[in-house]
């Protein structure tokens, strides 16, 4: 069996439990379709599992079904699980994701030993897991066999190209959809087989594209394109075609919007995305490296509790992003998220900012007083950033609030109850500060119940191409500029750059490149001076120059190679397989060379 061919590490990587969203947002059978729609809109979900009063899954309601119910005036009707019982598949936490490839379901509900719902896995999660796994495969025989099995079992269409855009793999699912036989596709340039493709450009730009629209056979389809790296060079790319057209969804959205315009004063919730999708779901945090996936899994577990969380990491690693995502996935998600930068507020004002003050508490106090951050965060989450910048006096006062779950405004004699989730963060070595007496040990233990340490960008190098792809698109859109691309040499340089400022520095660099470069394709010479003066830039230039010399040598020998191929074809009487055998090369390599020489 396929699963028996993999070692324990790979098996663990492909466990469904490692990729599920847990706990999933759910809706019970007592809720109405309108209530479910509002929850879907707020959380930007594609579906909601339906559970009974004991927590057992009884169905799944999708965004399409919700829109259908709203369009037919079923706003206040209770959800009928019998109508939504056929659009999901129930699995266990240890299920291997490879076993889900051939199952044509969009949502997988994960249950424990007692069959209670503990997580949800979407088709997109499955594909992300597979693409993450495929990107780790090397050119070993055993791994090639696994790759071949994945291609043949996949419900989605998968294509693999080499560095020249020549198709190396083209699975049966893609073949059925395009009408091009696999044997006729392999060896041809991808643009000749798949219409409107950009897979060959993924090789050149080294930038992944996830969830983009591509018109194939007249239908808008969702595709993923992922570059394949080896020894710091892009050697190919994987393309995945998701068999789920989006035209029907757009049509329903348009109809729903039209209905809303006609129905003046109606409370029908709009499910259309008027704003760009926010990144308030942990799975949307950009990155798929082992480091960041481990942190995401821990963050999901942290969100299930009400325990305090301490997030550590260098400046610019995304501590507040994780704090917001934990809040959004927690039971406090209906409440506010209040962020406090402990290092930006003067010490003499900190107590009044944190706990509020009464009218007349001090000179210049606002009439009627002012609520503090803890009051504003009631039933929500308060994020105390740069917690190590608090003075020892303020640390003592904060500790008392954490212990008693009560606070008191400055100038008041009455206390108010504190019902907030507390997440704190620092870029300093808090353990060393405790050791030196700069941070209270008892407060440290109160804050450090769950610890998330975010790795610096230089320790998650494989995420850099994904981050670059996202921010290039985002910044082009922000400044209303034509979409730009990065050369593979630029991406390779940025992958070896030190990034002292982490993601924040990367975003600033991308913004500089996008706004200061006039051309659409960004090359090595366009990089800012700080990066051009770095060792990573010098190494990449040397690598490019070395390749240029090799290319020159190859050009001189092209004529000889072409003659040998023609002779082999003549000797094999046009049989390409036999000609490849005579030349001592793989048939796919021969197809590439035939294309190269126009034979």
CA 175 to chain centroid, in Å, comes to 28
pLDDT at 245 over 50: no
Neighbours of 534 (CB within 10 A): 16
CATH superfamily label, 156-242: PAS domain (3.30.450.20)
Predicted pLDDT at 169: 86
The two tokens of residue 238 are 């994987």
The two tokens of residue 341 are 């930068």
> How many residues are given for the chain?
599
Class of domain 3-124: alpha beta
Q: What is the mean pLDDT of the chain?
A: 79
Where in the chain is CATH 3.30.450.20? 156-242
The two tokens of residue 228 are 């394949």
Q: At what angle do helices 535-571 and 576-583 cross, to 10 degrees?
A: 120
537-597 has CATH 1.10.3720.10 classification: no
CA-to-CA dists, residue 410 to 45, 374, 414, angstroms? 42, 13, 10
DSSP per-residue string spanning 439-505: S-HHHHHHH-SEEEEPPPGGG-GGGHHHHHHHHHHHHHHHTT----EE-HHHHHHHHHS--TTHHHH
CB 590 within 8 A of CB 576: yes
282-455 has CATH 1.10.10.10 classification: no
Where in the chain is CATH 3.40.50.300? 282-455
Which range, of 264-278, 415-429, 505-519, averages the lowest pLDDT?
A: 264-278
Residue reference for tokens 């991808």: 190
Q: pLDDT for 365-382, tens place per residue? A: 677 788 999 999 999 999
According to CATH, the topology of domain 458-533 is: Helicase, Ruva Protein; domain 3 (1.10.8)
Which residues lie below 8 Å from residue 551, measured CB to CB, with a gap of 6+? none
Where in the chain is CATH 1.10.8.60? 458-533
Predicted pLDDT at 282: 61
pLDDT at 155 over 60: no
E-strand ranges in 156-285 read 157-162, 167-170, 209-216, 219-230, 233-242
How much is the pTM?
Answer: 0.57
Which residues lie below 8 Å from residue 265, measured CB to CB, with a gap of 6+? none
The two tokens of residue 281 are 């779901």
Half-sphere exposure of 167 (CA within 13 A, CB side): 25
Predicted pLDDT at 542: 63
Q: pLDDT for 109-120, tens place per residue? A: 999 888 889 888
Q: pLDDT for 97-143, tens place per residue? A: 888 877 778 888 999 888 889 888 887 778 777 766 665 554 444 44
């Amino acid at each position: 069996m396929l699963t028996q061919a993999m070692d324990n590490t790979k098996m663990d990587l492909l466990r469904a439990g490692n990729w599920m969203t847990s706990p999933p947002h759910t809706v019970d059978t007592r809720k109405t379709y309108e209530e479910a729609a509002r929850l879907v809109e707020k959380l930007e979900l594609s579906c909601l599992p339906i559970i009974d009063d004991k927590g057992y899954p009884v169905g799944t309601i999708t965004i399409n079904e919700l829109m259908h119910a709203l369009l037919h005036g079923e706003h206040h009707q209770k959800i009928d699980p019998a109508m939504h019982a056929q659009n999901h598949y129930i699995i266990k936490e240890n299920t291997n994701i490879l076993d889900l490839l051939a199952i044509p379901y969009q949502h997988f509900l994960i249950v424990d030993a007692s069959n209670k719902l503990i997580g949800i896995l979407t088709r997109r999660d499955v594909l992300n897991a597979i693409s993450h796994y495929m990107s780790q495969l090397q050119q070993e025989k055993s791994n090639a066999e696994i790759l071949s099995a994945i291609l043949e079992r996949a419900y989605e269409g998968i294509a693999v190209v080499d560095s020249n855009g020549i198709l190396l793999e083209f699975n049966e699912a893609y073949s059925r959809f395009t009408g091009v036989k696999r044997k006729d596709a392999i060896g041809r340039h991808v643009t000749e087989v798949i219409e409107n493709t950009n897979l060959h450009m993924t090789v050149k730009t080294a930038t992944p594209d996830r969830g983009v629209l591509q018109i194939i056979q007249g239908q808008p389809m969702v595709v993923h394109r992922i570059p394949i790296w080896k020894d710091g060079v892009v050697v190919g790319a994987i393309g995945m075609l998701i068999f789920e057209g989006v035209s029907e969804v757009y049509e329903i959205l348009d109809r729903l919007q039209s209905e809303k315009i006609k129905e003046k004063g109606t409370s029908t919730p709009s499910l259309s995305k008027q704003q760009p999708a926010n990144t308030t779901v942990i799975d949307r945090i950009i990155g798929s490296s082992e480091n960041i996936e481990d942190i995401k899994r821990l963050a999901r577990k942290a969100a299930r509790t009400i325990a305090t969380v301490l997030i550590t990491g260098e400046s610019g690693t995304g501590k507040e992003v994780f704090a917001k995502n934990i809040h959004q996935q927690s039971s406090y998600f209906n409440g506010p998220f209040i962020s406090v930068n402990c290092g930006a507020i003067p010490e003499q004002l900190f107590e009044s900012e944190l706990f509020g003050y009464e009218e007349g508490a001090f000179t210049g106090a606002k009439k009627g007083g002012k609520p503090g951050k803890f009051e504003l965060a009631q039933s929500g989450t308060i994020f105390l950033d740069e917690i190590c910048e608090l003075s020892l006096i303020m640390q003592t006062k904060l500790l008392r609030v954490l212990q008693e779950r009560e606070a008191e405004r400055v100038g008041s004699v009455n206390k108010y109850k504190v019902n907030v989730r507390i997440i704190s963060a620092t870029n300093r070595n808090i353990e060393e500060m405790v050791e030196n007496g700069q941070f209270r040990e008892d407060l440290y233990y109160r804050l450090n119940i769950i610890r998330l340490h975010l790795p610096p960008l230089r320790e998650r190098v494989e995420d850099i191409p994904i981050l670059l792809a996202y921010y290039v698109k985002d910044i082009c859109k922000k400044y209303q500029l034509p979409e730009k691309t990065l050369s593979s040499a630029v991406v390779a340089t940025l992958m070896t750059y030190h990034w002292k400022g982490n993601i924040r520095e990367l975003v600033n660099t991308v913004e500089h490149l996008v706004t200061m470069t006039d051309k659409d394709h960004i090359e090595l010479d366009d990089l800012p001076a700080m990066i051009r003066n770095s060792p990573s830039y010098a190494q990449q230039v040397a690598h490019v120059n070395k390749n240029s010399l090799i290319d020159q040598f190859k050009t001189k020998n092209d004529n000889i190679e072409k003659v040998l191929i023609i002779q082999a074809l003549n000797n094999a009487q046009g049989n390409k397989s036999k000609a490849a055998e005579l030349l001592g090369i793989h048939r796919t390599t021969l197809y590439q060379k035939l294309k190269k020489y126009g034979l």
